[in-house]
Amino acid sequence: MARLMLEDEADFVVVGTGAGGATAARVLAGAGHSLIMLEEGPLLKTAERPKELIHAMRRAMRDFGTFTTRGMHPFPLLQGRCVGGSTAINSGIIWRTPEDVRRDWIDNYGLEELVEEKGLDRAFDIIEDELGVVETAEEISGNNALRMKMAAQKLGLPGKAMARNAKDCEGRGECLQGCPGEARQSMDVSYIPRAMRDGARLHTLCRAMKVRIENGRAVGVEGLVLDRDTRKPVGKFFVRARRGVIIAASVVWTPVILRRSGLRGLVGERLQLHPGSAVVGRFPEPISMGTGATQAYEIPMRERGFKIESLTLPPEMLATRLPGAGPAWQKLLTDLDHYAQWASIVRMKAHGTVRPAFASHDADVRFTPLDRDLKVMREALATIAKLMFAAGATEVYPGIARIPQVLTDPSQVRLIEELDLTTADIHMMCSHLFGTAVAGRDAATSVVGPDLQAHDVRDLYVMDASVFPTNMGVNPQHTIMALVWRAAERLAERARAAA
């Protein structure tokens, strides 16, 4: 049996260092409470992170980016596994909570205390100021994004520059590898160091397994200490919480931890995804997709159920999206500088589940898009193809089975529009996940209350996108942080009053 290697104690224990966990740590430590942060992955110093994408993914992503849903047609769920979580590998896109989502959460889930407009806007203002949120300037957007802007204007679509937490961005296109100048204010370079300056302690390579519950109250976290190189368990830890345990381990791993701890009900139910699929276009003149902000321009079409994003990628990842094989594929590689890639992100209505995997430390994630969801994805992909041709593409590579690999004329877009699209026809991936520990006033239809405390266990809180009752249809990072900011402020006040 593995020996106990780590014991510690603080007022609060936070599991996870992504958008939710880091914000909770920032607020609670800033309010003067002692706090311990637990992270399954390593602390990756920016200067030491590999610039080659394949090596960067191996170190920073869960399972090298190959962790997937289960079923006949699985698709990857991209998650960071390092200090900063997914904020350390994303593009820093910032969206305030759409008003229709906020009203829905109030009217149907009783969350007015959490998402009250004035208080939520105050949290957004603070976070945006502290993290340097600005719209992406044209001079660093890159041709990939500027071509999308041109096409959106030509087709009369509502495009706009992305807001990101990277006001000093230099447009190097290396967000996935770790911003080389630390312009993007991911949690590993912003709120985690700030919380530590305020006295918080960070324990890395600690995989939380369960919450210890005594007399109906969360009193600490048990788990495994991992070897830095192999990520295999080499010991155990127990960290005691005097005032509360906060689980912010992601929409996948939060319900796994809660279920291992004995919670049931809706824990792991109502998984909702915001997956994407991409289209590549070939242009007669250089696009230089490897330069410019990783993501800089978007076309939000929420009334249609999707949004379109520019996506600048390193050459080795772009090459995998080109059609053909052998000499034909190699010929396409000779024009690697002439391609653009844009992605469609669909607000799917389907619900899935998350469970601890049988006889392993893994998670069993089940999700199948509805027919309605695939129809929206089809419309989104067809829209991108039209945009590519409008921007001047001579060839479009839709990446869809059962139609030609190469489209050479705008009239061929109808082949996408007329296809009865199935999950087997396209490659989808997802980094925006919601649900699995839903917040709500009614304990019969939710896992946590408006204060994000579990209905069934005192002093146990969930502070990540697991609490979102619905799929937002936009990038969730900013909403996670604002909701957690409000909940953590109130928790800090209660803890201070009880001291």
CA-only gyration radius of the chain, Å: 22
Of 239-253, 351-365, 456-470, the one with minimum mean pLDDT is: 351-365
Low-confidence winner among 1-10, 125-134, 424-433 (lowest mean pLDDT): 1-10
The per-residue pLDDT for range 408-429, each reduced to its tens digit, is 999 999 999 999 999 999 999 9
DSSP state of 286: -
Q: What is the pLDDT of residue 89?
A: 87
Lowest mean pLDDT segment, chosen from 166-180, 273-287, 323-337: 166-180
Mean pLDDT of 482-497: 95
Of 16-20, 58-62, 292-296, the one with minimum mean pLDDT is 58-62
Residue 202 has φ and ψ, to the nearest 5°, of -115, 125
Q: Is the pLDDT of residue 107 over 90?
A: yes
CA distances from residue 386 to 145, 382, 396, 399, 413 in whole angstroms, order as listed: 15, 6, 9, 15, 7
DSSP state of 429: B
Q: What is the pTM of this model?
A: 0.95
Is residue 1's pLDDT more than 50? no
Which pLDDT belongs to residue 386?
98
* Residue-wise pLDDT tens digits, 20-53: 999 999 999 999 999 999 999 999 887 777 777 6
User: Going by DSSP bridges, is the β-strand pair 4-15/163-164 parallel, antiparallel, or unpaired?
Assistant: unpaired
Task: Give the residue, 300 or 325, on which the prediction is more confident.
Answer: 300
Q: pLDDT at position 290, please? A: 79
Least confident of 67-71, 107-111, 231-235: 67-71
pLDDT of 286: 94
CB 164 within 8 A of CB 134: yes
Q: Please report, rounded to a whole number, the percentage of residues in the chain having pLDDT higher than 90.
A: 79
Residue ranges of domains in the chain, CATH in brackets:
4-90+95-132+186-271+434-498 (3.50.50.60), 135-176+276-347+370-417 (3.30.410)
Average pLDDT over residues 79-99: 92
Average pLDDT over every residue of 139-145: 94
Q: Does residue 2 have a pLDDT over 80?
A: no
For the ranges 43-52, 116-125, 219-228, 267-276, which has the lowest average pLDDT? Answer: 43-52
- Strand intervals (E) in 116-205: 134-135, 160-161, 163-164, 201-203
